[in-house]
A and B are shown apart, each in its own frame.
Chain A
Amino acid sequence: MSTTTNDTRIGPFVGVWFGVIAINLVELFVATRLAETRALFFVLMALALVAAGLVMAFFMHLKYERRNLVLSLIPALLFVLFMTIEMFPDSSRLNRMHPQFQPVGEQPSTQPQ
């Protein structure tokens, strides 16, 4: 009944395992190099999406399921998450409104606000 892969060997999945580990190590490397918080956030989330996609496609076998299952599940999930992310730019505004916010390149003030 299931259209899931009939591959009964673990071998093909070892490459995916290496790939996911490699992406996590790249994330670690990027975190040691990139200092700017916002840029670091977007780079790390992009890499995390790739790793999560690999896990979902291969380890969870979604790649081998019927396309209508994927089309029923994933767009609805993405839509809900997108509607939640919609308020995200507010985090930047909140940060800039904070009395202790310092633009990049300026020394923090020692005077009490």
Chain B
Amino acid sequence: MDEPFIANPYATHAVPAPYAIPSRKTGMWLFIISDSITFGAMLIAYAFLRLGSPQWPHPFEFGSSILNATVMTIVLVTSSLSMVGAITAAKREDWGKTTLWLLATVALGVTFAILHLREWFGMFHEGVRLFQNPWGTPVFGAAFFGLTGLHILHVTGGVIYLLVVVALVQAKKIKANGVEIAGLYWCFVDLVWMFIYPMVYLMSAK
């Protein structure tokens, strides 16, 4: 046996990368898959409660609330596109445009968070709390705030992550691959919203 990685199992340079991507990117994919399971479990629990409760509240009006959620969706999908813009600019090594696209993504992320918090405060004003609400099944508050709260936590974390990437771009300490890994995370946040928007908002509209 003359295979070097058997003679020295720690000589990782001797083993070709199985997915032809850097290990950091593989790590981000593994994180995304594990996070998908977390969100998947929460979405399935939400759907279970939604379909299993005959008195599920319908607090979202097709006028203002659903319009707000639809605008939030468009903002988040657009932020994914601007993130792709940052990745393509980074691949061209056009770091000025990379920074601009990243800042546009951050601005859209902050806009999404503001719209979301505005809606949350509107619900607080209507009397919705974690374990009670004025309309029906008490568990609605826990399910709604739990799921959307976890998502907004990811959006906030993503905005901070992107700001760190902007700083690294300015300091010339990051390559296109690093921007692409940040883009993976950000687009995953968008991907999760593709399920939250119809399940939480459209299915509880009146």
Contacts and interface: CB of A to CB of B under 8 A. Distances in A.
Contacts of A91: 47-49, 51-52
If over half of A's interface residues share one DSSP class (helix, strand or loop), that class is named, otherwise mixed; here it is helix
B36 A77 contact: yes
Interface residues of B, number: 57
- A contact residues, range: 35 or more
Given A31-B205, A84-B41, A65 B19 contact: yes
Given A13-B84, A88-B48, A90-B52, 8 more contacts: A1-B17, A1-B22, A2-B25, A4-B180, A20-B194, A40-B202, A92-B52, A98-B54
Given A44-B198, A52-B194, A84 B44 contact: yes
Contact of A8 (B17, B48, B92): B92
Interface of B: 17-22, 25-26, 29-30, 33, 36-37, 40-41, 44, 47-55, 62, 66, 70, 73-74, 77-78, 80-81, 83-85, 88-89, 91-92, 177, 180, 183-184, 187-188, 190-191, 194-195, 197-199, 202-203, 205
